[in-house]
Amino acid sequence: MSLRKQILLNAFSMNCVGHINHGLWTHPRDRSHEYKQLSYWTDLAKTLERGLFDGIFLADIVGVYDIYQSSVDLTLRESIQLPVNDPILLVSAMAAATQHLGFGITVNTSVEAPYTFARRMSTLDHLTEGRIGWNIVTGYLDSAVRALGQTGMNEHDTRYDRADDYLDVLYKLWEGSWADDAVVLDKTRRVFAEPDRVRKIHHKGPYYQSEGYHLAEPSAQRTPVLYQAGTSGRGRRFAGRHAECIFINAIDKAAAAKTARALREEAVAAGRRPEDIKIFVGMTVVPGRTASEAEAKLADYLDHANPEAGLAHFAAGSGIDFSRFEPDEAIEYATGNAIQSVTQLARQKGWTKRQLLKELAMGGRYPVVVGDGAKVAEELMSWVDEGGIDGFNLARTVVPESYVDFVDIVVPELQSRSAYKTAYDDGTLRRRLFGAGDRLPDNHYGSQFRRLEHVR
Amino acid sequence: MSLRKQILLNAFSMNCVGHINHGLWTHPRDRSHEYKQLSYWTDLAKTLERGLFDGIFLADIVGVYDIYQSSVDLTLRESIQLPVNDPILLVSAMAAATQHLGFGITVNTSVEAPYTFARRMSTLDHLTEGRIGWNIVTGYLDSAVRALGQTGMNEHDTRYDRADDYLDVLYKLWEGSWADDAVVLDKTRRVFAEPDRVRKIHHKGPYYQSEGYHLAEPSAQRTPVLYQAGTSGRGRRFAGRHAECIFINAIDKAAAAKTARALREEAVAAGRRPEDIKIFVGMTVVPGRTASEAEAKLADYLDHANPEAGLAHFAAGSGIDFSRFEPDEAIEYATGNAIQSVTQLARQKGWTKRQLLKELAMGGRYPVVVGDGAKVAEELMSWVDEGGIDGFNLARTVVPESYVDFVDIVVPELQSRSAYKTAYDDGTLRRRLFGAGDRLPDNHYGSQFRRLEHVR
């Protein structure tokens, strides 16, 4: 057992062509357009498992990026998360191709009733034998609201109130409806499940009502590992209560440290320990066998990346149509949106469009670490130490080589520094991430719903 | 090429323990409780593909059977479709394990907005390379309405009106939003999709509104093969317009012929040809290497089946709590429910509870064909000839042996009589079922939505 903190790693991807580092789909070796094929995903899963990745984290968006130039033209030409397929449907194929890799799947709470969504997650937790995580997303693009035929997007805080209520229904179903000993599978007595060990939930919340039995029997984790990415004030409070893994954006280690500290304080305020949440920073890595190989690779990637596409993506997140600005014109940044932290940073720095495009040279907003394996490993370790974080969501560059390179070049260097596991531990995703049990810990808000009086 | 009509075959299953023939989970060789494991499904898919099955048809139910004895006690003890996991999440793993098998997945139109559901089906059509079908279900159990927190179940006809509107949104997204030549993937010109070949849909229907771009690029079939099972008057009209494959229950060949004729007339009334719908009858088969082996197997199965569990299932479908009746008491059957045809039959025959239990000896309501391979093959062929149908949804008995037996014992006898294919044709599920194109035929209602004026 190593004493040094082990870095956690998720591959950060999406069921689409352009995800974070836009424009790289035009690289001759890039295969991200093969996202429609199962083998693309099963091959990727096997590569990640070879590199002992903790999980693959799949983003999602419902709606389109239509702020920049008030159109989707650039979005379509550069395939900026459009087209985008459903991520949840990839899981069972990747699970069949692997044994340990975890799956963090983004699903918006506005898409369906908690009752049927609870079953989807339980089904995946069964099929993966406890390797499923859910990235809780509550917001929506305006274009999604119109596409879904909903009456209008909720105010930011109301969204989180709704999501709190949604989660309560889920906890009741996942944690409270079936006792651990409900399923006995006794062929002789002809009892599959003991009726007195299964109970109806009765939920009458401000936003959701549900009365019924959970449709799924208990899975290994019951509640999937809960991921979240909101970092606004209300979002942090929501994360402090619910999230077990939090994904943050940070421009540097000091910013990461500040956000991580604030998030752990929220967890403590919710009765948990600081270490009960694992914090992942979004990161782009370009490793080479040698420093010069890495630099040459970076230059090649930058030739294919499209900063303007990155700007169009950022426009959707910030609500600002940057196409309306001259290169050096001052930009008035708003606050209070979904990726507030990045907008805040841009506002603090007073970035003009020209400066934004420079920041987005790789087509995306994440810090870029370049170098040979040793240099990348040490830089990542320093992020963990100085940033007070637990690991990384590694954005892809050219697919699949960005993950193959990371596994072949960086992983051994992390391992030789005792900063990364050399084999998977057994058990569920939650057990491996936290070194404890398969289920929500007793100090987690959701654990109270195991008790009968909280279900009724 | 054979001149004789080729029998179409679906394995009829469900992501749960007890499906149609209830009680057989207690058989020592039955492994249906392994439904939570991926290998159960991938092994089954491989068996079916070895037997050249056209598809696996997965039923689903949201809600629980709580009519019989006004409780779920027997439902839980005999696992009568409870617990039941989500079927859609099984597809990608089975697709990765096979090359030709089709997937007919049941999804209720009330679960989510058409916009996100359209993406789910397109995603699966991509991942399966055109092997996906959708079984359109519109109704709900009362227990589901309460669990989903919806305000009340719609009247039967309104349900179909709603579903018509839901389908219109889907057709616009699937058929009309992206032109076939929209995705060019031109790395040199930096054009993934041509913006002027992708268009927004604008739907303002009586029940659904949607304004947006389909999130998925065109898949092989675009619209999945459309399955339906409704056989009431309004359901038949709905099927005549939309369905390409229809699943019916029939107690004998004459009943099948009557229903099949009525359905084909509805198709003709909707501007289609009688042969544009394929009709599948639900059937249970118990084959043996010899007639006596089959009879012994049947007796063994009957020892483990539970007619009372079958009655509890039928109670939920008919809305009648049969537990309140004496064995020989007259039962007043209602009309107008989801499985009207079976209730009608019971009413016509004036079945008492004692008689129902006898009909349900195998735990389910389907005709049971027993015998050696030759006898079963000839009986199935006679159903097709006299019943005017196209094939069968084969209910499972003891799993997996019921499918293994069918493949090993019956398939060769069907093949030697030129009644069943000896190899898969290439192409999509629709192409293989109908011997024509990958897309909806031009005489199908949904095909009109390819034209711009119908999308706007």
Query: What is the rounded distance in angstroms from the CA atom of residue B77 to the CA atom of residue B71?
Result: 11
- pLDDT for res B59: 97
Q: Which residue has the higher pLDDT, B1 or A70?
A: A70
Of A79, A124, A143, nearest to B212 by CB-CB distance is A143
Residue B368's φ and ψ, nearest 5 degrees, are -115, 125
Q: What is the 3-state secondary structure (H, E, C) of chain B?
A: CCCCCCCEEEEEEECECECCCCCHHHCCCCCHHHHHCHHHHHHHHHHHHHCCCCEEEEECCCCCCCCHHHCCHHHHHCCECCCECCCHHHHHHHHHCCCCCEEEEEEECCCECHHHHHHHHHHHHHHCCCCEEEEEECCCCHHHHHHHCCCCCCCHHHHHHHHHHHHHHHHHHHHHCECCCCEEEECCCCEEECHHHECCEEEECCCCEEEECCCCCCCCCCCCEEEECCCCHHHHHHHHHHCCEEEECCCCHHHHHHHHHHHHHHHHHCCCCHHHCEEEEEEEEEEECCHHHHHHHHHHHHHHCCHHHHHHHHHHHHCCCHHHCCCCCCCCCCCCCCCHHHHHHHHHHCCCHHHHHHHCCCCCCCCEEEEEHHHHHHHHHHHHHHHCCCEEEEECCCCCHHHHHHHHHHHHHHHHCCCCCCCCCCCCHHHHHHCCCCCCCCCCHHHHHHCHHHHC
In Å, how far is B71's CA from the nearest CA of chain A? 10
Of all residues in chain A, the one with the smallest CA distance to B27 is A187
**End-to-end Cα spacing for chain A:** 44
- pLDDT for res A335: 64
> Stretch A366-379: mean pLDDT, rounded?
97
Query: What is the rounded distance in angstroms from the CA atom of residue A158 to the CA atom of residue A138?
Result: 10
Per the prediction, chain B carries an average pLDDT of 94
B-chain residues within 8 Å CB-CB of A82?
213, 215
| Record: contact B149-A209, CB cut-off 8 A | yes
Which of the residues in chain B have pLDDT under 70?
Answer: 1-3, 151-154, 156, 230-231, 335-342, 452-456
Percent of chain A with pLDDT over 90: 86
In tens, the pLDDT along A326-342 reads: 999 999 887 654 444 56
- pLDDT for res B188: 97
In Å, how far is B407's CA from the nearest CA of chain A? 25
| Record: contact B26-A190, CB cut-off 8 A | yes
Given the DSSP bridges, would you call strands A191-193 and A8-14 parallel, antiparallel or unpaired?
A: unpaired
Is the model's pLDDT at A37 over the cut of 50?
A: yes
ipTM: 0.97
> Stretch A52-62: mean pLDDT, rounded?
97
| Record: contact A92-B88, CB cut-off 8 A | no
- pLDDT for res A140: 74
| Record: contact A83-B17, CB cut-off 8 A | no
Of B148, B209, B215, nearest to A83 by CB-CB distance is B215
**Is residue A51 within 8 Å of A407, Cβ to Cβ?**
yes
Query: What is the rounded distance in angstroms from the CA atom of residue B224 to the CA atom of residue B104?
Result: 9
Query: What is the rounded distance in angstroms from the CA atom of residue B13 to the CA atom of residue A37?
Result: 26
| Record: contact B123-A28, CB cut-off 8 A | no
> Stretch A378-402: mean pLDDT, rounded?
98
Given the DSSP bridges, would you call strands B201-204 and B209-212 parallel, antiparallel or unpaired?
A: antiparallel
- pLDDT for res B335: 64
Of all residues in chain B, the one with the smallest CA distance to A39 is B96
Our CA angle for B274, B277, B281, nearest 5°, is 115
User: How sure is the predictor about A452, in pLDDT bands with cuts at 50, 70 and 90?
Assistant: low
Mutate to test the interface with A, among B33, B85, B140, B162 (most CBs of A within 10 A): B85
- pLDDT for res A337: 45
Of all residues in chain A, the one with the smallest CA distance to B177 is A83
Q: What pTM value is reported for the model?
A: 0.97
Of B17, B27, B143, nearest to A192 by CB-CB distance is B17
| Record: contact A148-B93, CB cut-off 8 A | no
Q: Which residues contact A456 (CB under 8 A, 6 or more apart)?
A: A201, A202
Is the model's pLDDT at A154 over the cut of 90?
A: no
A-chain residues within 8 Å CB-CB of B38?
92, 95-96, 127
**Is residue A370 within 8 Å of A286, Cβ to Cβ?**
yes
In tens, the pLDDT along B310-331 reads: 999 999 988 899 999 999 999 9
Per the prediction, chain A carries an average pLDDT of 94
Of A86, A113, A149, nearest to B209 by CB-CB distance is A149
Is the model's pLDDT at A183 over the cut of 80?
A: yes
Q: Burial, B380: exposed, middle or buried (Cβ in 10 Å; 0-12, 13-18, 19+)?
A: buried
